[in-house]
Structure 1
Amino acid sequence: MKLVRSLCALIVLFSLLLLLAASTSEASVLDDTCRSFTASHADIGYDYCIRFFQSDKGSATADRYGLAAIAVKISRASARRTAGRIAALRGTERDKRRKGCLASCAEVYGSAVDGLDEAARGIASRDAAGLRDAVMMLSAARDAPDTCEQGFGELREASPLIAEDEEFSKESAIALAVTSALSPPGMI
């Protein structure tokens, strides 16, 4: 009986050690991803990258593909929120020129949402062609904030979307960098 208890205790201890090792390696995937991202995006930073991923519970156990999918999911939600805000602003804007800028913003954010949907499918495929398409779609989506801000800049007017554009710019940078890192060298 004593042997059985000792054996059970060893099995439980071994199981706990395996869980600890697994959670440490999963946490290091997130840590490594954000450290790698920060190396080329110091302006956005490690802490922002960690907070970005921590907004989705799945990031704690995700592999590199999972982190890319999460980054796209978060970015897509942000683009959709921004598109909703643009629609609300368009409904109340009286100035034709500003309304035209908002129409351009609506178009680029609508395209960004579509591109992010396609990027998610490319990442899910886990194949070279899908990843190449995902990177291309993410690159295009990343232009939405600049394009939106450019219209207001040409009018020499303050953009009502500066906060949303800055946030989406950071989020889409993470999504693009993490997805690009999945691609074998020379593929893209």
Structure 2
Amino acid sequence: MATIVQYYLLTLFLINIFLFHIPLTKAGVDFIVNTCKHTQNSGFCVAALESDRRSFNASTVVELAGIAIEIATAAAGSTLSLINDLGGQYPGTAAEEALKQCAQLYGNAIDDLEEARKDVWAGDYSGAAEPVDSAWEAPRSCEDAFADRSLSSPVVAEDKDVDVKCGLCFDLVDLLNS
């Protein structure tokens, strides 16, 4: 059975959580919103950054850019996994060729995003812009690989997702360069 002291300590603990953590979250949200106002798609920017809890503790654009790059890298990795899974379903076809091309593009995009992440954390913001831009080409080039063969892409939704996430990375890196 719980004693009155345990109830008292629990109450103090809960009050402490509410008093000291909500303002940080509010400040985090305000910082995210204010930063995202400087991007091309501010609504998506806020939603994407708020999907990662680390963003609420960010106090610099560098931190938000790093988080955005990690979000884009994860999306590119998921898309690459799907592309690899789909590759076996189309042996010897033009679709298989397009998927192989997409796999190469996404493998390179992941490497580019990792390079950009390192550049951002090292303070080389202009150095980060080029690999982000290169990674941003992957979803569009993947869609072109199917269009060039007059095929429908089985990864159109994933390509769009990676496209907007890389666009966010580009906007945040561009903000760091201004």
**Aligned residue number for residue 10 of structure 1:** none
Shift of residue 64, structure 1, vs aligned partner: 0.8
Residue 29 (structure 1) aligned to one of 28, 31, 35: 31
Amino acid at match of 1:117: E
Residue 78 (structure 2) aligned to one of 78, 81, 84: 81
**Aligned residue number for residue 136 of structure 2:** 142
Shift of residue 179, structure 1, vs aligned partner: 1.2
**Aligned residue number for residue 156 of structure 1:** 150
**Aligned residue number for residue 131 of structure 1:** 125
Gapped regions of structure 2 (runs ≥ 5): 1-18
Shift of residue 95, structure 1, vs aligned partner: 4.4
Gapped regions of structure 1 (runs ≥ 5): 1-15
* Greater mean deviation of Cα atoms: 82-91 or 24-33: 24-33
Provide the aligned length of Structure 1 versus Structure 2: 158
Shift of residue 167, structure 1, vs aligned partner: 0.4
CA distance in 2 between counterparts of 1:119 and 1:46 reads 21
Shift of residue 91, structure 1, vs aligned partner: 1.6
CA distance in 2 between counterparts of 1:86 and 1:133 reads 29
Q: Tell me whether 1:99 sits opposite 2:100 in the alignment.
A: no
CA distance in 1 between counterparts of 2:81 and 2:48 reads 21
Residue 50 (structure 1) aligned to one of 43, 46, 53: 46
SS in 2 for 1:143: helix
Shift of residue 151, structure 1, vs aligned partner: 1.2
CA distance in 2 between counterparts of 1:23 and 1:151 reads 43
**Aligned residue number for residue 3 of structure 1:** none
Q: Under a length normalisation based on structure 1, what TM-score does the superposition of the two structures give? A: 0.78
CA distance in 2 between counterparts of 1:92 and 1:24 reads 48
CA distance in 2 between counterparts of 1:140 and 1:25 reads 33
Percent same amino acid at aligned positions? 27
Moved >6 Å (runs of 4+)? none
Q: In 2, are the aligned partners of 1:27 and 1:61 still within 8 Å (CA)?
A: no
SS in 2 for 1:94: coil
Shift of residue 48, structure 1, vs aligned partner: 2.0
CA distance in 2 between counterparts of 1:111 and 1:65 reads 23
Shift of residue 29, structure 1, vs aligned partner: 2.0
CA distance in 1 between counterparts of 2:90 and 2:153 reads 13
SS in 1 for 2:141: helix
**Aligned residue number for residue 6 of structure 1:** none
CA distance in 1 between counterparts of 2:26 and 2:50 reads 16
CA distance in 2 between counterparts of 1:82 and 1:49 reads 20
CA distance in 2 between counterparts of 1:23 and 1:109 reads 34
Amino acid at match of 1:36: H
> What's the C-alpha RMSD, in Å, of the aligned pairs?
1.7
CA distance in 2 between counterparts of 1:61 and 1:169 reads 26
